[in-house]
Amino acid sequence: MTSNTTTQDASGVTLVVTAEQAGTRLDKALTLLSVEISRARLQQVIKEGGVRLNGAVFTDASRKVVEGDELALVMPEAKPADPVGQDIPLNVVFEDDDLIVIDKPAGLVVHPAGGHEDGTLVNALIAHCGASLSGIGGVRRPGIVHRLDKDTSGLLVVAKTDKAHQGLAKQFADHGRTGPLERAYLAIAWGVPRRHNGTIEANLERSNRNREKMAVVSEDKGREAITHFTVIERYPALLKGTQETEPLASLIECRLETGRTHQIRVHMSHIGHPLLGDQLYGSGFMTKASRLPEKARAALDTLGRQALHAALLGFAHPVTGEDMHFESEPPEDFALLQAELAAL
């Protein structure tokens, strides 16, 4: 087998194409220079003139290389982060050179977007991590591989390097079906599902009637979405002016096999058990909320959001391979609602 000849100097890293590599695309051949650089990033560098083929700048990533070609790669310095860093307090659960695990509070948006240009988790991480962030995509910024809704609290892992970003992204794309990724959420839902545990399989796509909402659609539309649930605790039925005997609400653990926008919230509403406090998917239960005993109603008002918390996160460290496992207790507002419902 012919081996590569690679060298590095002030002009960058060079590779001499072997017979086995001949006929491959330029961008694919360059991945042999560094497994830590994604192919998409290499394509960007090629386009920007950062690659020389036999001494000349070459910008066509699809060009096929031949035996003996000499490729030189000069990675540009990562650009300053945009958005900018902001000094926002973070609850850091774990951090090393490759990644950081955050226990996100409710109310914090993960990524800048329309209506939330700053004050986000990304802004906070840029300030917190500083120079330790590598140039993911050519910019010094954290690598977001999954998100939590603004008003969902709990555990979130973010990559600090391109290699960690690639490794984590693969695990989240697999959704734990064949790999070690594990995600569990605690949700307080109206009523109790008929079965103690079960699986909700219902495709999702953006609603045509309300673009802020996701909607369940037929199997030939949308994107696959699978949620596994287990009832953890049932809360008594004590609605004022009623003789109801069915449990009022329940604490449910939800585990994701896919990770769609609003997935748990939509799926629980779809089976008739929307989350307490969910104004978007549980509006039909406002009357029931108004008839809660005073302390429970006050606790729900204090929560002021959907009762959903990302309580468990497990994955393989994308660089060391070590099994990582984190758990988060529900925040005070969530725990207060639990306690008041349990006291009924």
- d(CA 1, CA 316) in angstroms, rounded, equals 33
Strands of the chain (E only): list them. 5-9, 12-16, 51-53, 56-57, 70-73, 92-95, 99-104, 135-136, 139-140, 143-144, 153-159, 182-190, 197-201, 204-206, 214-216, 226-235, 249-256, 308-316, 323-327
Number of residues in the chain? 344
Rounded (10°) angle between helices 332-342 and 294-303: 160
- d(CA 293, CA 55) in angstroms, rounded, equals 78
What's 223's DSSP letter? B
Token pair in block for residue 116: 């939330």
Instruction: Answer whether the bond into residue 83 is a cis peptide, omega within 30°.
Output: yes
- d(CA 149, CA 197) in angstroms, rounded, equals 24
The answer to whether 331 and 153 are in contact (CB under 8 A) is: yes
DSSP lists the bridge partners of residue 226 as: 201
* Phi, psi dihedral angles at 263 (to 5 degrees): -55, -50
The sign of the CA dihedral 252, 233, 288, 299 is negative
Reply yes or no on whether 149 is catalytic.
Answer: yes
Q: Which of 27, 149, 151, 278 is catalytic?
A: 149
Q: Which residues are catalytic?
A: 149
